[in-house]
Chain A
């Protein structure tokens, strides 16, 4: 409940600030990306925090969602002129395609454990990016043409239109995303994630995280629930991808690299593993931080890195925790309880 309240309050404040013109265009441009990263962080936390598996390929699912939805929008641009309906469908398609991929990847991957699972998710993330890069799809009066070589081997008529142009990706996507849509998607994400966590299925997922052997001893189907967490997480990432792609004119697969996956993981860990509210806050703060530091020009990414290291040490180092316990004991104990 508190989490919803924070998100709604933040939205209302932002809308008021926007209405009264108190927001720079720079920050304005950051609103949708912030929504995207909040959704990604929450969805990744389902896998990392709730299911207890380290995934390093989250950007891959976002990528698939982004491309599937943008591709749909391009195809349906004339058939469905109402942008609201079309975008809603596009988001749905992004989520579904990402979920299907989540199942396909999850089945083999979830048999592995620990760091091996992590590296295989990383590998899948890179494969998805590379595979999308080699597809060329165009459309003309004769229908759809697909090639894996280049755009000229499509053999299209002169009036043909490129839908997906290899590494150049998809261009001319209508800008359907907005802060309001992003806000609604965040609420949907929170609704799904929080309700799942606090249900019978969520309990099973957490039980497996805490002790796999004990969970199977009480008859919980390990594969089923690991896959469920992974798939729902993928679907939400696909949704974030749809929001992301409809905020850009040009969509390229190379954007969804390993660093994007890592960035989201940073949000999850800094916000608190398994702590959904923490993911939301960390995603907002850390996405905005580099922009807020813009005044520092070239030094901003350096400062970002230092902030990251210092925060990790402060939050996790046993010595730092001891120190906090001793000097800031009361204050932190209280906040630790609320975070649960």
Chain B
């Protein structure tokens, strides 16, 4: 029974990673950049929801919606101010370092407003836990909501990308910006939209993460951010099902390693698995192989 409960916890944590990883992978796919500030957008989402619920006594759902709006606007702003000017820069490292600057910026703005002490987060899921098998197995309501949201997001996003015109424009831009532009696609708008979606998802992930692990500080986003980034690479960066698979596997491995091997080595094990996967399959589990033309 305990294995099953660990497994469910792992899937739940993995679902959060997966939602964050989706943001990473979409942005990477389309803008070919690692958005290191993504983890901090999660944190901002957490604070937005918390402020709504604590200071304004808003309903949790309102808190979530506000968080999504705040993060979406934030994502679009960051892209327009910090990343767009660097499109076409001589080195891809330029935008990477700028993203790190943005990450510091967000952390410190939040630090100035809310202080460095961790705030306890109030769960956005006011439902009772589910007890199965005469109480031997407890599944928290947060877990159920997290996993469900992850599945819904996955389905909606896949449909959006494959079935709508905008989604296909996104695919076109990620294949070949120049050609997409020639076909009349507004590349800047499409990339901005991708950031908007990624950041909105980050808000959802932030709220879910804080509900499951109810402590929020300006640095809350950075570790899950890195893990989700690892998950995205693990699944094959640029691939949406890959991000999903990578996220969930990572969460499960992390929780099981914590439970059965060593809680201190859990992160090391997660990273070791990533290394092994990349050495066997250099572009991740579901990534497309790259071939350089001579």
Query: 1/0 per position for A191-227, CB-CB distance to B under 8 A?
Result: 0000000000000000000000100000000000000
Given the complex of chains A and B, what is the CA–CA distance between A59 and B87 in angstroms? 29
Judge if A116 is at the interface, Cβ distance under 8 Å.
Answer: yes
Given the complex of chains A and B, what is the CA–CA distance between A118 and B93 in angstroms? 11
Query: 1/0 per position for B227-266, CB-CB distance to A under 8 A?
Result: 0011001000100000000000000000000000010110
The reply to whether A119 and B229 form a contact with Cβ atoms under 8 Å apart is: yes
Judge if B34 is at the interface, Cβ distance under 8 Å.
Answer: yes
Given the complex of chains A and B, what is the CA–CA distance between A252 and B86 in angstroms? 37
The reply to whether A134 and B262 form a contact with Cβ atoms under 8 Å apart is: yes
Given the complex of chains A and B, what is the CA–CA distance between A85 and B82 in angstroms? 50
A residues less than 8 Å from B102 (CB atoms): 305, 309
Judge if B6 is at the interface, Cβ distance under 8 Å.
Answer: no
A residues less than 8 Å from B101 (CB atoms): 305-306, 308-309, 312
Nearest CB of B to A42, in Å = 17
Given contacts A116-B233, A305-B105, contact A126 B271 (CB under 8 A): yes
Given the complex of chains A and B, what is the CA–CA distance between A313 and B101 in angstroms? 11
The reply to whether B264 and A130 form a contact with Cβ atoms under 8 Å apart is: yes
> Which of A14-22, A231-239, A263-271 lies at the binding interface?
A263-271
The reply to whether A269 and B104 form a contact with Cβ atoms under 8 Å apart is: no
Given contacts A120-B275, A262-B100, contact A316 B90 (CB under 8 A): yes
A residues less than 8 Å from B292 (CB atoms): 213
The reply to whether A312 and B112 form a contact with Cβ atoms under 8 Å apart is: no
The reply to whether A309 and B233 form a contact with Cβ atoms under 8 Å apart is: no
Given contacts A108-B275, A123-B274, A301-B104, contact A313 B98 (CB under 8 A): yes
Given the complex of chains A and B, what is the CA–CA distance between A129 and B100 in angstroms? 21
Given contacts A127-B268, A134-B265, contact A316 B89 (CB under 8 A): yes
Given contacts A273-B91, A316-B94, contact A299 B112 (CB under 8 A): yes
A312 in complex: contacting residue of B94, B275, B294, CB < 8 Å: B94
Given the complex of chains A and B, what is the CA–CA distance between A130 and B265 in angstroms? 6
B residues less than 8 Å from A119 (CB atoms): 229-230, 233, 274, 278
Judge if A317 is at the interface, Cβ distance under 8 Å.
Answer: yes
Query: 1/0 per position for A302-340, CB-CB distance to B under 8 A?
Result: 101110110011011111100000000000000000000
A residues less than 8 Å from B137 (CB atoms): none
The reply to whether A317 and B233 form a contact with Cβ atoms under 8 Å apart is: no
CB within 8 Å of B: which A252-307 residues: 258-259, 262, 265-266, 269-270, 273, 298-299, 301-302, 304-306
B residues less than 8 Å from A48 (CB atoms): 93
Given the complex of chains A and B, what is the CA–CA distance between A235 and B229 in angstroms? 28
Q: Looking across the interface, which residue of chain A has its beta carbon closest to that of B104?
A: A305
Judge if B58 is at the interface, Cβ distance under 8 Å.
Answer: no
Given the complex of chains A and B, what is the CA–CA distance between A312 and B88 in angstroms? 13
The reply to whether A302 and B108 form a contact with Cβ atoms under 8 Å apart is: yes
A residues less than 8 Å from B283 (CB atoms): 116
Judge if B54 is at the interface, Cβ distance under 8 Å.
Answer: no
Judge if B136 is at the interface, Cβ distance under 8 Å.
Answer: no
Given the complex of chains A and B, what is the CA–CA distance between A270 and B290 in angstroms? 30
Query: 1/0 per position for B193-224, CB-CB distance to A under 8 A?
Result: 00000000000000000000000000000100
Given the complex of chains A and B, what is the CA–CA distance between A71 and B258 in angstroms? 28
Given contacts A312-B94, A313-B86, contact A123 B100 (CB under 8 A): no
A residues less than 8 Å from B112 (CB atoms): 298-299, 302
The reply to whether B85 and A130 form a contact with Cβ atoms under 8 Å apart is: no
Given contacts A127-B271, A316-B89, A318-B88, contact A308 B279 (CB under 8 A): no
Given contacts A112-B282, A115-B233, A119-B274, contact A130 B82 (CB under 8 A): no
Nearest CB of B to A124, in Å = 7
B residues less than 8 Å from A305 (CB atoms): 101-102, 104-105, 108
The reply to whether B265 and A112 form a contact with Cβ atoms under 8 Å apart is: no
Judge if B61 is at the interface, Cβ distance under 8 Å.
Answer: no
CB within 8 Å of A: which B30-64 residues: 34, 36
Give the residue among A124, A259, A308 with the most B Cβ atoms within 10 A: A308
B residues less than 8 Å from A308 (CB atoms): 97-98, 100-101, 104
CB within 8 Å of A: which B67-117 residues: 82, 85-91, 93-98, 100-102, 104-105, 107-109, 111-112
Q: Looking across the interface, which residue of chain B has its beta carbon closest to that of A298?
A: B112
Nearest CB of B to A293, in Å = 12
The reply to whether B274 and A120 form a contact with Cβ atoms under 8 Å apart is: yes
Query: 1/0 per position for A121-153, CB-CB distance to B under 8 A?
Result: 011101100110110000000000000100000
The reply to whether A304 and B104 form a contact with Cβ atoms under 8 Å apart is: yes
A313 in complex: contacting residue of B85, B279, B282, CB < 8 Å: B85
Given the complex of chains A and B, what is the CA–CA distance between A302 and B104 in angstroms? 7
Q: Looking across the interface, which residue of chain B has its beta carbon closest to that of A311?
A: B101
The reply to whether A266 and B94 form a contact with Cβ atoms under 8 Å apart is: no
Query: Nearest 5 pairs between A and B by C-beta?
Result: A316-B94, A123-B271, A130-B268, A305-B104, A308-B101
Besides the contacts A270-B97, A318-B87, what 6 more A-B pairs have beta carbons closer than 8 Å? Answer: A112-B279, A122-B226, A127-B268, A269-B94, A302-B105, A316-B89
Partner-B contacts on A (CB < 8 A): 48, 54, 108, 111-113, 115-116, 118-120, 122-124, 126-127, 130-131, 133-134, 148, 167, 213, 258-259, 262, 265-266, 269-270, 273, 298-299, 301-302, 304-306, 308-309, 312-313, 315-320
Partner-A contacts on B (CB < 8 A): 28, 34, 36, 82, 85-91, 93-98, 100-102, 104-105, 107-109, 111-112, 222, 226, 229-230, 233, 237, 262, 264-265, 267-268, 271-272, 274-275, 278-279, 282-284, 290, 292, 294
A-B contact list, 23 entries, CB within 8 Å: A108-B279, A111-B279, A111-B282, A115-B34, A119-B229, A122-B226, A123-B272, A127-B268, A130-B264, A130-B268, A262-B36, A265-B97, A269-B91, A269-B94, A269-B96, A273-B93, A299-B112, A301-B108, A302-B108, A306-B101, A309-B82, A309-B101, A316-B86
